[in-house]
Structures are given as C-alpha cells and as structure tokens.
C-alpha cells in the first residue's frame, strides 16, 4: 500500500509535471474554492435581491487584481488563473451591487 502523501505527490506530478510548485497548487486550490463559494452570492446579487457593501467588494477586487499580477510575475500560473477568476467574480459582485443600490 502506498502512503497517502506519496500517492498525492505522484498524482500531482502526473498532472503538473515532474517538478510542480506545490505552493502554486495549494494557493490555487484554496482560491478556486473561495471563488466557487461566491457563485450563489453572485446569483442573488445578479437577480437584484441583495447588494453587497461597495467598499468591501471594490477593495477585495483591487486586492485580488494585485495578487493576480503578483502570481503572473512569479510564474504561479495556476494561482494566476484562480485569482483572476476570483477577481472577476468580485468585480461582478461590485458592478451588480452598484446597479442594485442605484435602482433603490
């Protein structure tokens, strides 16, 4: 029986090559999870049922764009994609929340 950490290492090396940057994969996994968790919230904001605090959504979007650029420069490609995804989600939350506030 192969120990679990060794099995995970083998799976990661098959998916991402022989010398994957494990930090890139860990950061991206958590970032994608955070992004997918927000999808129900985005649906509610899109339908106009709720709106988020504009300061929170705008500053989070800006922070995620900074992280996205940082991961691009560092060559963390999977984390770059994950944080780009998150920045788009937060940006849409800001846009739709702004629209909903203006309608009221």
Q: How many domains does the chain have?
A: 1
- Position 63 scores a pLDDT of 97
Q: What angle do the packed helices 22-37 and 4-16 form, to 10 degrees?
A: 90
Of residues 26 and 69, which shows the higher confidence score?
A: 69
Q: Which domain holds residue 85?
A: 21-103
The three-state secondary structure class of 57 is helix
Give the closest residue to 71 by CA, choosing from 17, 32, 15, 39: 32
Instruction: Provide the whole-model pTM.
Output: 0.78
86 or 76, higher pLDDT: 86
The answer as to whether 85 is a domain residue is: yes
Please check the confidence at residue 2 and state whether its pLDDT lies above 60. Answer: no
Q: Is residue 7 part of a domain?
A: no
Average pLDDT of the chain to the nearest whole number: 87
Range 85-89, long-range pairs (CB < 8 A, 24+ positions) = 85/31, 85/32, 85/35, 86/31, 86/34, 86/35, 86/38, 87/61, 89/35, 89/38, 89/39, 89/42
């Amino acid at each position: 029986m192969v120990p679990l950490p060794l099995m995970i290492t083998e799976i990661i090396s098959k998916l991402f090559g022989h010398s994957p940057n494990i930090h890139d994969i860990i950061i991206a996994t958590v970032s994608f999870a955070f992004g997918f968790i927000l999808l129900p919230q985005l649906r509610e904001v899109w339908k106009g049922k709720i709106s988020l605090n504009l300061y929170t959504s705008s500053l989070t979007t800006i922070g995620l764009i900074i992280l996205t650029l940082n991961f691009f420069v560092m060559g963390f490609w999977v984390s770059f994609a994950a944080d780009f995804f998150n920045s788009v989600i937060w940006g849409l939350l800001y846009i739709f929340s702004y629209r909903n506030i203006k309608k009221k």
